[in-house]
Amino acid sequence: MIPKFQAFIKEKGLIVPVQEINFKYEEIVWESGEYKEVAKFEDIELLQSTGVNDAHDREYFNKDIARDIDSEELGVIEYENGMFIMRFKDSGVDLIDVHHDFEIIGNQFLHSDILEKL
């Protein structure tokens, strides 16, 4: 799997696909329409793809919020101890074990109001 990244641009309140990551200058490059833009690491939250998809075949990224299709229980995708997990209010499970039972409904940066229900 080739890792994919998105970035939450704090100042703009946007999540964008990352085109390049420059570790030397600590910045990312992303496209805004027909232009390329640069954002410093300190101005973003970098979000890595998990390599697995939800019930609707959308790829999970770190910090996505998902809902169980049957029970409507909410969880947040987190990276912990070398693996992605679905974090619930009081517990967490390996994302690979439950990914098809959930659907992505947002992420913790743009939909913080949903997190209050956790």
Q: Which residues contact 90 (CB under 8 A, 6 or more apart)?
A: none
Q: What is the pLDDT of residue 117?
A: 72
Per-residue pLDDT at 75 exceeds 80: yes
- pLDDT digits 0-9 by tens, 82-99: 999 999 988 999 999 998
Whole-angstrom distance, CA of residue 50 vs CA of residue 78: 10
Closest CA to 62 of 73, 41, 76: 76
Q: What is the pLDDT of residue 115?
A: 79
Per-residue pLDDT at 64 exceeds 90: yes
Per-residue pLDDT at 56 exceeds 90: yes
DSSP string, 71-108: T--EEEEEEETTEEEEE-SS-EEEHHHHGGGEEEEEET
Q: Taking the domains of the chain in order of start, what are their residue ranges?
A: 5-45, 50-115
Mean pLDDT (whole number) for 3-24: 96
Asked if residue 47 lies in contact with residue 61, where contact means CB atoms within 8 angstroms, the answer is yes
Per-residue pLDDT at 118 exceeds 80: no
Whole-angstrom distance, CA of residue 29 vs CA of residue 56: 29
Q: Which CATH superfamily is domain 50-115 in?
A: YopX-like domains (2.30.30.290)
